[in-house]
A and B are shown apart, each in its own frame.
Chain A
Amino acid sequence: MSSHNNAIELTDVTAGYGNRAAISGVSLALSRGSLTAIFGPNGGGKSTLLKCIAGLKRPWSGNVQVLGAAVGVHAKRVAYVPQAEQVDWSFPVSVAEVVMMGRTPALGPLGRSGTADRAAVADALARIDMTDLAQRQIGELSGGQRRRVFLARAIAADPEIYLLDEPVTGVDPTTQEKIMNILDAEAARGRTVVATTHDLACAAQRFHDVVALAGRVVAHGPAQLVLDQGVLEKTYGGHLVPLAGGGVVLLDDPHHSHGAHEGHE
């Protein structure tokens, strides 16, 4: 059934909260080593789609295959990074402790972290340039640093698949550049990267593929082929305002209503 080149395959997936479907009839195949941005309006189902792939949300109908098996079978080879708002930043843990959590699934219930785990944590911290902040409590970090810590946790897990919910939302351009460079490098060495984003420019410029999602898949493919005005209009509907010069402006401020319609559990 599923091709071995596909890391993630969704077939006719419908999922939602209460009695409202957030995504319906979504079919999508993401190949190994792809770097894909899922973009679309608030309430378009980006987070829901990501949660279905992560096994955090059971679809109402349809099928999700991850690494050629049912969701959850290869969970240890998947790293999920939640939205920043879903993390309790006052939690008493240090940066290094959070990154070490990436090693927890592979160690198993009775396993103890050893030299290799500490080395992986140190490497991950070095890659995000936060070695000197290892002992900070996470609440003392800036917004961009907070996103990078979670990326480091994913790196430390050495996963086949990265699932990131809004990894570059609300971070400064320098941090965004750092995060995207790392994700790019991970995709280049065969890891599959899927990220949701509000940032259309980032999706277009820094990801290989884009998925336009508005409850259903409007388009999927390389950004330069897929992103035309027709697709954007279908994705964003009334939020897209044409300009006199022929361009368009997108009215979709993530900081006002972000997450409110996605029905977080």
Chain B
Amino acid sequence: MNPLDLLLAPLSYDFFVRALIASALVGVACAIVGSFVVLKGMSFIGDAVSHAAFPGVVIAYLVGAPIILGGAIAAVGTALGIGAITRRSGLRADAIIGVLFAGMFALGVAIFSSIPSYVGDLFHFLFGDVLGISVGDLGALTLLVLGLLLVLRLLWKELLFSTFDPLGAGAAGLPVRRLDDLLLILIAITIVISLQAVGIVLVVAMITTPAATAQLLVKRFTAMIQVAALIGVSAAIIGLYLSYSLDIASGAAIVILETTLFLIALAFTSIRSRLHAARGAA
């Protein structure tokens, strides 16, 4: 089989084309919210919210409601709960996150374990199954990406100011708390909609890794989002092909690629700064 066939052959399957589009959209959405997550130091929240979605997914499955809806309610609720409890309790956010993350996931596992026969659909939510994505999921992903781009377009300067300097922004009258809540909601929705593709366990990597890689490479926030999106999309597409031809889990393939890119960027920047230092010393 020649290389072109390797690229083109899978495209004759509708499910593969759907999966490609879905992965690319997930890559873009995760890169956008991920850039805020990384700069605000909230990576752990991404992990917590994805696990917190699990009981919502299980309950929705049991009662026959849309799985995305159940996941979204649980995830958004937990995300806002983390913010609210942190403000009131006086405990550090990471402690609250640790508590809610484990508690919600345990609830999901408890309900899940009560289901008599193993349910394939639910299992896929843990590890992702982008090849099984439906046209409806694709529609939800498209709406999500359009929604995220719209929010960025409308509130860019407010989000930039309050992310960079919450104190200065708050003193100048910007609704920093509401902007924080908006970000938490966007993170939660992005995670839930991405779960189908990469799964609960790995979605945090889709959010964190491309954005962290981009921050190593560029020095402007807009460029960071663009580079993160580019990394997210290319890793998703190449990862999907790898998953198809090597017959490995798609989510894992995408995340391994992203991690590799991160390590390459890390090596590149440390070599670059050493060269700079050497030139400066000479």
- Please report A residues at the B interface, Cβ cutoff 8 Å: 18, 51, 54-56, 72, 75-76, 78-82, 86-88, 90-94, 97-98, 100-102, 104-105, 107, 109-110, 113, 137, 150, 153, 157, 163
Contacts and interface: CB of A to CB of B under 8 A. Distances in A.
B167 interface: yes
A97 B163 CA distance: 13
Contacts of B136: none
Given A91-B39, A91-B164, A56 B158 contact: no
Interface stretch (B106-114, B214-222, B249-257): B214-222
A92 B167 contact: no
Interface of B: 39, 90, 154-155, 157-158, 160-161, 164-165, 167-174, 215, 218-221, 223-224
A137 B218 CA distance: 10
21 contacts: A18-B90, A54-B170, A54-B171, A55-B171, A56-B170, A78-B171, A78-B173, A79-B168, A79-B171, A90-B215, A91-B221, A92-B215, A92-B223, A93-B221, A94-B219, A104-B157, A105-B173, A113-B157, A137-B219, A153-B168, A163-B171
A76 B26 CA distance: 38
B37 to A, nearest CB: 14
Given A92-B215, A102-B172, 7 more contacts: A82-B165, A90-B215, A100-B157, A101-B165, A105-B169, A105-B173, A109-B155
B167 A101 contact: no
Contacts of B170: 54-56, 80
Contacts of A110: 154
Nearest to A17: B90
B163 to A, nearest CB: 8
B164 A107 contact: no
Contact of A107 (B39, B157, B224): B157
A252 B97 CA distance: 38
- Which of A97, A104, A110, A137 is most buried by chain B, counting CB atoms within 10 A of its CB? A104
Nearest to B35: A92
Contact of B164 (A72, A81, A93): A93
The 10 closest A-B pairs by CB, nearest first: A75-B173, A80-B171, A54-B171, A137-B219, A105-B172, A82-B167, A101-B161, A104-B157, A104-B161, A92-B221
Contacts of A90: 215
A56 to B, nearest CB: 5
A183 B157 CA distance: 27
A76 B171 CA distance: 8
B173 A101 contact: no
Looking at chain A's contact residues, is the secondary structure mostly helix, strand, loop, or mixed? mixed
Contacts of A137: 219-220
Contacts of B157: 100-101, 104, 107, 113
Contacts, number: 90
B135 to A, nearest CB: 35
A104 B158 contact: yes
A150 B161 CA distance: 12
B154 A76 contact: no
B197 to A, nearest CB: 27
A78 B154 contact: no
Contacts of A87: 164-165
Contact of A79 (B172, B174, B219, B221): B172
A86 B167 contact: yes
Given A104-B158, A109-B158, A81 B168 contact: yes
A75 B172 contact: yes
Nearest to B40: A88
Nearest to B218: A92
A98 B168 CA distance: 11
B218 A80 contact: no
Nearest to B168: A80
Nearest to A98: B164
B39 A157 contact: no
B171 A101 contact: no
Nearest to B90: A18
B220 A78 contact: no
Given A75-B172, A101-B161, A109 B154 contact: yes
A162 B136 CA distance: 53
A80 B167 contact: yes
A94 B220 contact: yes
Given A93-B164, A101-B165, A107-B157, A80 B221 contact: no
Contacts of B167: 51, 54, 56, 80, 82, 86
B71 to A, nearest CB: 30
A72 B170 CA distance: 9
B219 A92 contact: yes
Contacts of A163: 171
Nearest to A80: B171
B226 to A, nearest CB: 11
A101 to B, nearest CB: 4
B171 A104 contact: no
A51 B90 CA distance: 18
Contacts of B164: 87-88, 91, 93, 98, 101
